[in-house]
């Protein structure tokens, strides 16, 4: 099945407000946009329907499209050998340090692969997932400030007393000029 | 009479060498520096190559990579130090018994390396959290470079006077007390 057919199937079973649009692309992936409140329902249908049978979740990526944030799901069916891409759009929070105001339903109960992928999307973009079994950061330390892969990310000055950005030239001991001490030629001169 | 005032040479079969405590301890320490067995990134692969048969770090007595910081003499920081790991490195360093030494291996551990500008998660030099004795440049340094760093460290270990620092101080204090202070 191609994306259009899958979209028609989803619309027929779930109604139009849960799967809002289908974008066809000649180059690259086509995708279906899913409302953030119905991700779990859509995922269950995609996995269990006899004509769909999406048994593998290849990747879940957090996205920053500047005007909005989002999540992208890449799904594949080993049984029927077809694939589909789902998009979820989310409102951008005003404060860069905040998590998203809209929560996405977790699909880790549908595909166990999703567990760590969702934690990564949270860690890097601050996207919140509900009904996740172990929802916390996965790469950054728990007390890290901000969401590193967002476009408006500003590195924090200090982490537990350790400076984070590279020191400016004037703050370095040698004023930024590196002096190479050649101890080998000294030996030969003497 | 002459026999009484002479040095006790010959009393122990002529098998005596006179030296200082620091020299003999430095000789022993410098020739068996046990590293802490941990690696952080690709530098660790070079460190393992250094330990393997071709480069054979055992030639310098440093082949015993200890699994516990409490049994280690030197810490080879081999790889990128993330801020998350930096807190752990500091703890490992504090668990090592004195005298202890540190080799910063490669660009990442020395100054952040290729992550100096955009690496929000990387500590820009391990010397921010622990004292470093020898810096080995390279990305990653070849085993020869690490071995040279180790040899430099051995020179330093042999020169250090821990015994004098610790027990010679009292003697100096009693002599100088009352004179100038």
Contact list in A for residue B117 (CB cut-off 8 A) is 166
**H/E element, A88:** strand A82-90
pLDDT in tens, A42-63: 999 999 999 999 999 999 999 9
**What is this structure's pTM?**
0.80
pLDDT digits (tens, 9 = 90+) for B92-142: 999 999 899 999 999 999 999 999 888 999 999 999 999 999 999 999 999
Under DSSP, the state recorded for A142 is T
| Closest Cβ–Cβ partner in A148, A162, A166 for B116 | A166
Q: Do B120 and A160 touch (CB under 8 A)?
A: no
Q: Which of B116, B117, B123 comes nearest A162 by C-beta?
A: B123
B176 pLDDT more than 60: no
Ramachandran assignment for B79, one of left (phi > 0), alpha (psi -120 to 50 degrees), beta (any other): left
Mean pLDDT (chain B) is: 87
Residue that the structure tokens 């999406």 belong to: A54
Q: Is the pLDDT of residue B60 over 80?
A: yes
Q: What is the ipTM of this complex?
A: 0.77
Dihedral (CA of B22, B26, B28, B34) sign: positive
Q: Please tell me the least confidently modeled range out of A7-21, B7-21, B123-137.
A: B7-21
Q: Measure the CA–CA gap between A109 and A39, rounded to whole angstroms.
A: 12
Which residue of chain A has the CA closest to B113? Answer: A166
Segment 107-146 of chain A within 8 Å of chain B by CB:
139-141
Pairwise CA distance, residues A127 & A117, whole Å: 11
């Amino acid at each position: 099945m191609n994306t259009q057919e899958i979209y028609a199937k989803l619309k027929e079973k779930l109604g139009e407000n849960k799967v809002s649009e289908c974008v066809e692309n000649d180059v690259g992936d086509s995708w279906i946009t899913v409302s953030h409140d119905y991700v779990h329902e859509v995922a269950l249908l995609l996995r269990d329907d006899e004509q769909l049978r999406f048994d593998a979740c290849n990747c879940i990526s957090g996205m920053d499209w500047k005007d909005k944030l989002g999540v992208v799901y890449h799904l594949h069916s080993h049984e029927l050998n077809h694939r589909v891409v789902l998009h979820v759009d989310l409102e951008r929070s005003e404060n860069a340090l905040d998590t998203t105001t809209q929560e996405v339903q977790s699909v880790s109960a549908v595909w166990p692969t999703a567990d760590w992928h969702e934690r990564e999307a949270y860690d890097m973009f601050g996207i919140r997932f509900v009904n996740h079994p172990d929802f916390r950061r996965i790469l950054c330390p728990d007390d890290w400030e901000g969401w590193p892969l967002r476009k408006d990310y500003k590195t924090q000055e200090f982490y537990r007393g350790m400076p984070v950005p590279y020191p400016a030239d004037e703050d370095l001991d040698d004023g930024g000029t590196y002096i190479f001490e050649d101890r080998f030629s000294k030996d030969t001169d003497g | 009479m002459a026999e009484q005032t002479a040095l006790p040479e010959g009393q122990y079969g002529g098998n005596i060498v006179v030296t200082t405590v620091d020299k003999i301890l430095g000789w022993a320490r410098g020739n068996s520096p046990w590293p802490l067995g941990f690696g952080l990134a690709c530098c660790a692969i070079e460190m393992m190559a250094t330990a393997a048969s071709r480069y054979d770090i055992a030639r310098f007595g440093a082949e015993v990579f200890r699994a516990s910081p409490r049994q280690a003499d030197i810490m080879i920081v081999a790889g990128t130090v993330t801020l998350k790991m930096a807190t752990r490195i500091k703890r490992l360093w504090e668990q090592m018994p004195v005298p202890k030494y540190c080799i910063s291996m490669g660009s990442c551990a020395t100054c952040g390396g290729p992550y100096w500008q955009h690496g929000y998660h990387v500590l820009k030099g391990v010397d921010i959290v622990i004292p470093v004795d020898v810096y080995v440049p390279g990305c990653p340094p070849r085993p020869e470079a690490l071995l040279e760093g180790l040899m430099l460290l051995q020179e330093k270990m042999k020169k250090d006077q821990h015994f004098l620092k610790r027990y010679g101080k009292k003697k100096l204090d009693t002599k100088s007390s009352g004179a100038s202070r």
